[in-house]
Chain A
Amino acid sequence: MADLKLLRLDPLDNVLVTIQTLEAGDRVSIDGREITIPARLTLGHKLAARDIRNGEKILKYHMPIGSATRDIAVGEHVHLHNMKSDYIDTVAQLARHSLGQSP
């Protein structure tokens, strides 16, 4: 069970969303584990809900929003430094094609 500073959008998600600003040194509880926040995080950021392996899908709203680019420990901030988009931008290619530009 996460505490009131974190929101689990879906029971199967492997990330939790911060719903308050967390300051460096603040402590949060994730499934009974105490985690100390290393740096300030504003509302809307993600923390790992459990240990996540390199290459594993990041699930938010029970939907994949990208993949881990390294192993992520429970409670760690999940963002640009440890995950990436899996979205293949075929659409931008299509748009360039329809504009007569080379893809």
Chain B
Amino acid sequence: MIITEQAYLRSDGRKGIRNHLLVAYLVECAHHVAREIVYPYREAGVELIGFGGCYPNAYAAKMMRQLCTHPNVGGVLLLSLGCESFKRTELSDAIAASGRPVETLVIQQSGGTRKTIEQGRVLVQQLLRQMADVPRAPLEMREFIVGTICGGSDATSGITANPGVGRAFDRLVREGGSGIFEETNELIGCEAVMAERAVTPELGTILGSALAKAAAYHTVLGHGSFASGNAEGGLTTQEEKSMGAYAKSGGSRISGLLKPGDVPPVGGLYLLDVVPDGEVRFGFPNINDNAEIAELIACGAHVILFTTGRGSVVGSAVSPVIKVCANPETYRRLSEDMDVDAGKILEGRGTLDSVGDEIFDLSLAVARGEKSKSEALMHQEFVLTYKTFEPIGPSCLPRV
């Protein structure tokens, strides 16, 4: 099935649903200058991302490379202060090798704040012209990647929006696309059912280990999972609470396990392992929802399905975020920020199946160019912190 004839064809064969120009700062010291360059061009699709740290980190370098060469990105302007440790030439070379126009400004060499902003805006106009004639090609379902996350959950999340997204994911995978779910720390207790859904026994073991790692990590950080408030809300067991989050993954077989920046090789359902490997360092695996959204996007997600009960308003740079609102009262209060009213199930105005279809259809409409609510409001939140990962092993991915 062809989703749109008008996708942006990149030289690596991947296809985007947007053609953004990214302005990427390589240390917090270049953030202000980068933001000032972007501001007048936000409506032209120019977006801001960056890494704030001054110390080197292989994970952050991979994330930046994967985001700067994401199919939704057509060109990049890198902003360096000059003395940070980020290997700007390596990143610039990788972007150039991907066939995208790329420029770099080094504030210490460009005459400081004001002059760098001026030069940056000239470069933005130049890059936008270079990006305008990207070839178009049909985007097929088997090339379409959707990520899902929940944030600001309440008692309705696990019974409306999450299983609704699960229904949409079932349809996506059945029709050949890729779905990515994550939040391993919220899936404790699902080990057995998840292992049974793996396409190979080896993968089942790997999925179990990922959950054990997440639980161990959060135990060290002093994070419990099941609280008394959960029981008051009707949840009885640890596994029941986790199933509420797990429901976003639907019922398909699980094809593989990814780590941030790994792209699904073929259509299927994938678990993204966001918890660092090795001993606990650098603090919480993800300090907020946007850190996870950035990781899903680095895995190639064209669109993010974000379920919320209490009402999150965030979006993201690079890929559009679709809000699936679990609670009908929240929807009425925040309707300008919410794309799908999944809470209608609670009021007899829809079923899980009809809401699943609505979510699926909206994902395709957004792939065809329709703006999600957060996208139209120009939400472009972005966070990237320090982590450490071992590469995934050969049993993690399906053979192509």
Contacts and interface: CB of A to CB of B under 8 A. Distances in A.
Interface in B325-358: 345-346, 348, 352
B372 to A, nearest CB: 27
Contacts of B193: 63-64
B212 A61 contact: no
Interface residues on B, range: 20 to 34
B346 A91 contact: no
Interface string A56-86: 0000111111100000000000111001111
The listed residue with most B CB atoms (<10 A of its CB), out of A9, A41, A78, A90, is: A9
B30 interface: no
Contact of A4 (B211, B348, B352): B348
Interface stretch (B52-60, B69-77, B235-243): B235-243
Contacts of B232: 42
B346 A19 contact: yes
Interface stretch (B155-163, B373-381, B383-391): B155-163
A92 B237 contact: no
B227 interface: no
A45 B234 contact: yes
B247 interface: yes
A59 B189 CA distance: 14
Interface residues of A, number: 37
A98 B247 CA distance: 30
A44 B159 contact: yes
Nearest to B194: A63
B211 A91 contact: yes
A21 to B, nearest CB: 11
B165 to A, nearest CB: 13
Contact of A17 (B234, B237, B348): B234
A94 interface: yes
A30 B233 CA distance: 22
Interface stretch (B1-9, B115-123, B214-222): B214-222
A3 to B, nearest CB: 9
A99 interface: yes
Interface of B is mostly: helix
Contacts of B188: 87, 91
The listed residue with most A CB atoms (<10 A of its CB), out of B220, B233, B234, B348, is: B234
A66 B234 contact: no
Contacts of B190: 63
Contacts of B216: 91, 94-95, 98
A7 interface: yes
Contact of A60 (B211, B243, B345, B346): B243
B251 interface: yes
A90 to B, nearest CB: 7
B159 A80 contact: no
B234 A79 contact: yes
B365 interface: no
A29 interface: no
Nearest to A77: B234
B318 to A, nearest CB: 32
A36 interface: no
A9 B215 CA distance: 27
B243 A83 contact: no
Nearest to A65: B240
A19 B101 CA distance: 53
A44 B193 CA distance: 22
Interface string B87-119: 000000000000000000000000000000000
Given A91-B188, A94-B212, A99 B236 contact: no
B155 A85 contact: no
A91 B240 contact: no
22 contacts: A4-B348, A9-B159, A17-B159, A42-B155, A42-B233, A44-B234, A46-B236, A61-B163, A64-B193, A64-B239, A65-B236, A65-B239, A78-B236, A79-B231, A80-B231, A84-B237, A91-B188, A91-B215, A95-B215, A95-B219, A96-B219, A99-B220
Interface of A: 4, 7, 9, 17-20, 41-46, 60-66, 78-80, 83-87, 89-92, 94-96, 98-99
Given A44-B158, A85-B189, A91-B215, 16 more contacts: A7-B346, A9-B163, A41-B234, A42-B233, A44-B233, A65-B236, A65-B237, A78-B236, A80-B231, A83-B236, A85-B236, A85-B239, A87-B189, A92-B219, A95-B215, A95-B219
